[in-house]
Structure 1
Amino acid sequence: MTRPCQCPNTDAVASPHHPTGERMRPRLRGGRTTALAALLSLALAAPIAAAQDRAAPADGPRATAHPELPHQYEVSGPATPAARTALAATGASVDEVHARAVVLTADRAQAAAVRRLGYRLRQLPDPPGAAPAAPGIRAGDFPRGYTGYHTYAEATKEIDGLVAKYPTLLSKQVIGTSHEGRDILALKVSKNVAKDENEPEVLFTAHQHAREHLTVEMALYLLGELTSKYGTDARITKLLDSREIWIIPDLNPDGGAYDIATGSFRSWRKNRQPNAGSSRVGTDLNRNWDFKWGCCDGSSGDPGDETYRGPSPASAPEVQVVSKFVRSRIVGGKQQIKTAIDFHTYSELVLWPFGFTYDETGPGMTQDEHDTFATLGKKMAATNGYTPEQSSELYITDGAIDDWLWGDQRIFAYTFEMYPSSFGSGGFYPKDSVIPKETARNREAVLQLAEIADCPYRAIGKEQQYCHGS
């Protein structure tokens, strides 16, 4: 058992040992054996990268189409959770973790802070769609090569079509609005969908971070798959006969719209909520949840930072809306939602709580609960090829949704970091051609988690102890 670690010490930039004194085995985020350097060398071979390499030194700023926007950098050296947490403490977002390197998103000030920690940064090419919009590309739409992704309006239209087509299986609720007034939807999928039956409930959420558009496609895939296959697929039929499934397809519609507002990508992460006393806009929704908020150097208090946690817990309207919805599923004093997945990109990971402590259990989790999380996580990862691990094995985060869902609501909640495994394969902006394969890739994991929602402890053979008679 490791010692409690409410607020880990991140003063040491790099250490060969886990902060608790245990040796930390090297981890390749996404479980890929291909070296990061090889992936980057392929990406940097592109003409745009060659032009950027000529424009500036490896450790300096480069000429780009959007110099005011954040960029991604390769940082070699950090090899421990503590070292990576120190990087995140600069306000940059850590996007990709390898054994002795990371990729992070940072603006000019955050990049300078990383350099002051003693690291050299190599700026990576902007995504192809980050250039000024090509002729014929409409403002507010995805760039060429990405138009298979759904805008907010297109996703809403598709959802409305599914509700009309499957009215006995699918219902739509507007559970609140975003800062800019866009509807936040909760879709319920179940036989007898109009009735609130005494059945285990499952929650799937998507798109907390604006640039992670593939997650909206994941939600739309689940809606289509569950409705269209009912009555013909025995497994889905049985599932909808015995479960109530909730899908919130877009937690951050304002940020998503802003990311593509010019017809090119802005690499935007946060929501679009103004910050009092600052010209910098936005809160990182996945650092704003009201459990261990701001506790442990796992978020930033600076409104300009990528991981700004907001001025107070659940200060973001989108977090308030979803928190209220989840609490509304407490019926007769018991939370009806038993399992959940929050979809993100990228890195191909299955993550479970806690993020705020390096301990496997930490305050608020027993060994059996940890073992259930780990067993289910590894079983799901075996179906999609992702790497399973506790969130804090990457770096410390606080105020994250899966920590809140477990710590506050006792929901077995996971984060899935979807395709790709690396920057070199598309990073936050893979081409739309990958959508069908990479959404269907998670079908089995989703079904498994929904099927075990009646008693997650069955994963460790302790259903009689925890679920008998429930």
Structure 2
Amino acid sequence: MRMRTTKRGRRKASAAAILALALAVPLGAQAIASPSDSTGSDRPAATAEQDAGKARQYEVADIGTAPERTRLARTGVAIDEVGKDTVVITAGKAEAAELRDKGYELTARPAPGERSAKAAAPGDYHSYDEMNTAVDGFVEQYPDLLKKEVIGTSHEGRDIIAVKLSADVAEDRDKPEVLFTHNMHAREHLTVEMALYTLEEFAGGYGTDERVTKMLDERELWIIPSVNPDGKVFDQDSGEFKMWRKNREPNEGSSAVGTDLNRNWPYEWGCCGGSSDNPSSETYRGPSAGSAKETKVVQDFVLSRVVGGEQQITAHIDFHTYGELILWPYGFTYDETAPGLSQDDRDAHAAVGTTMADSNGYTAEQSSELYITDGTINDWMWADQGIFSYTFEMYPGSGSPDGFYPPGSVIDRETSRNKDAQLILLENADCMYRSIGKEAEYCGS
């Protein structure tokens, strides 16, 4: 029997606990979101607080509709969680004071170090170095199925890696390709655990798990475990979580550090009040579209998969925390359809997204049903490359105290919870329109 790697006392949950979670359908949250079109001045005081790990979460009362959430997010704070009539934001003290001055009712939530003993410690998760060691170990264990590539480096010079997983891993076959990206936002460490789980589970299941075997025979899967390694190291490696979201590139002419990588993508960048032009903001979109080095590395990798004029990647998941959601494009408009996204395109996104959500108990919806975002990876993937693209917001759901830092004891449960959803996407990746009964129209014979 194969033994899954465990770490620092992590334990597996019972099947009953997994089923109970899968049956729960939360209202949700969106870690990718939190637009702002601030034209205000730089806020170095807030930035200093964030660099020192002083940003924290606040619950904001009487916010119940998408337009209300969009108006709040346009102040530049990060909306982390969406409930029925409340939201949870991340803000520094100065930003919180500004919101109270604007009439918002804020209640501070306990910081990670102020919670019960159940709360996560940085050592509950693989560090960046431990992540690379684990990946190297999997590649050594499964050399016929896994291949690691360095696809670029971060601002501070750390390797950004992609791991190919396929039964023909040494060859570039003409098969549908699927991409999973993780850890675009620094504090979302559970997503790195998701990547490591998938590598081990799928490679280890080849030859014994019928669905996994079929997919590795018929697909090529690419996994990028950490898009934002500098931010991950900054948030984790000091031994105290810092609630850091962005990358770690300084902003010229400002004391503020970092760009929100999921507002920096070059499609409808800064178009619609779905990001901030303030370098101090949690959702700062950067000085220009695609300006962040990490964005460019992943973008170039995706473009490198165009062979003979055809994009080989057909489907994509960008893993975030938290909210237990599956989201699809577009984020920049409330409309279900828009230029480049027909009704059939939307319906196929929704059909596969809903089926995946049925398998893991998440809520499926268009990204903008929460609030407007622009410059996101999902919108770029679809509009620029025709790749069906989803965001998975992982555990916890709305109302949990665990937030971005759930305890290590839930990692195995919450990563394995997504196995069926991943397989559903892989199984549909050869023709996503099959999900709406239009395979012949769009995919030919």
TM-score category (smaller protein): 0.7 to 0.9
TM-score by length of 1: 0.82
- The answer as to whether partners of 1:178 and 1:318 remain within 8 angstroms in 2 is yes
Once the two structures are TM-superposed, the CA of residue 118 in structure 1 deviates from its matched residue by 2.0
The one of 242, 265, 272 aligned to 1:289: 265
TM-score by length of 2: 0.87
Identity %: 58
Once the two structures are TM-superposed, the CA of residue 423 in structure 1 deviates from its matched residue by 5.2
Once the two structures are TM-superposed, the CA of residue 68 in structure 1 deviates from its matched residue by 6.1
Partner amino acid, structure 2, of 1:105: T
CA 1:146–1:261 in 2, change beyond 3 Å: closer, same or farther? closer
The one of 18, 28, 32 aligned to 2:26: 32
2 CA distance for matches of 1:307 and 1:440?
30
- The answer as to whether partners of 2:27 and 2:83 remain within 8 angstroms in 1 is no
The 5 A counterparts of 1:166-185 are 166-185=142-161
The one of 81, 86, 92 aligned to 1:101: 86
- In the alignment, structure 1 segments of 5+ residues that lack a partner are 1-29, 35-60, 135-142
* 1:198 aligned counterpart, secondary structure: coil
CA 1:235–1:126 in 2, change beyond 3 Å: closer, same or farther? same
The 5 A counterparts of 1:56-67 are none
- The answer as to whether partners of 1:130 and 1:264 remain within 8 angstroms in 2 is no
1 CA distance for matches of 2:360 and 2:412?
14
- The answer as to whether partners of 2:27 and 2:398 remain within 8 angstroms in 1 is no
- The answer as to whether partners of 2:120 and 2:405 remain within 8 angstroms in 1 is no
The one of 268, 279, 283 aligned to 2:244: 268
Q: Deviations over 1:128-166 (max 9, x none)?
A: 3799xx9xxxxxxxx974523100110100100111111
1 CA distance for matches of 2:346 and 2:303?
23
Once the two structures are TM-superposed, the CA of residue 80 in structure 1 deviates from its matched residue by 1.3
1:418 is aligned to 2:418: no
Which residue in the other structure is 1:232 paired with? 208
* 2:352 aligned counterpart, secondary structure: helix
Partner amino acid, structure 2, of 1:357: T
Which entry has the higher C-alpha Rg, 1 or 2?
1
1:245 is aligned to 2:224: no
The one of 353, 359, 364 aligned to 2:335: 359
1:88 is aligned to 2:82: no
Which residue in the other structure is 2:187 paired with? 211
Once the two structures are TM-superposed, the CA of residue 302 in structure 1 deviates from its matched residue by 0.6
1:436 is aligned to 2:421: no
CA 1:130–1:69 in 2, change beyond 3 Å: closer, same or farther? farther
1:77 is aligned to 2:77: no
Which residue in the other structure is 1:448 paired with? 424
- The answer as to whether partners of 1:130 and 1:265 remain within 8 angstroms in 2 is no
1 CA distance for matches of 2:311 and 2:326?
23
Once the two structures are TM-superposed, the CA of residue 261 in structure 1 deviates from its matched residue by 3.1
- The answer as to whether partners of 1:129 and 1:265 remain within 8 angstroms in 2 is no
Q: Deviations over 1:392-447 (max 9, x none)?
A: 00010000111110011110000000000135340000000000000000000000
Which residue in the other structure is 1:403 paired with? 379
* 2:203 aligned counterpart, secondary structure: helix
Which residue in the other structure is 2:322 paired with? 346
Partner amino acid, structure 2, of 1:216: V
Which residue in the other structure is 1:385 paired with? 361
CA 1:193–1:345 in 2, change beyond 3 Å: closer, same or farther? same
Once the two structures are TM-superposed, the CA of residue 364 in structure 1 deviates from its matched residue by 1.5
* 1:434 aligned counterpart, secondary structure: helix
Q: Deviations over 1:105-140 (max 9, x none)?
A: 011232233224321111111013799xx9xxxxxx
The 5 A counterparts of 1:39-50 are none
1:126 is aligned to 2:111: yes
CA 1:164–1:366 in 2, change beyond 3 Å: closer, same or farther? same
1 CA distance for matches of 2:51 and 2:268?
35
- The answer as to whether partners of 2:183 and 2:320 remain within 8 angstroms in 1 is yes
2 CA distance for matches of 1:319 and 1:437?
30
Which residue in the other structure is 2:345 paired with? 369
Q: Deviations over 1:220-258 (max 9, x none)?
A: 000001110101111111111110000000000100000
* 1:324 aligned counterpart, secondary structure: helix
1:303 is aligned to 2:297: no
Q: Deviations over 1:198-217 (max 9, x none)?
A: 00000000000000000000
Aligned length: 402
Which residue in the other structure is 1:50 paired with? none
CA 1:154–1:89 in 2, change beyond 3 Å: closer, same or farther? same
* 1:424 aligned counterpart, secondary structure: coil
- The answer as to whether partners of 2:27 and 2:397 remain within 8 angstroms in 1 is no
- In the alignment, structure 2 segments of 5+ residues that lack a partner are 1-23, 29-45
Deviating more after overlay: 446-455 vs 255-264: 255-264
Ranked by relative contact order (alpha carbons within 8 Å, sequence separation 6 or more), the top structure is 2
Which residue in the other structure is 1:220 paired with? 196
* 2:349 aligned counterpart, secondary structure: helix
- The answer as to whether partners of 1:129 and 1:264 remain within 8 angstroms in 2 is no
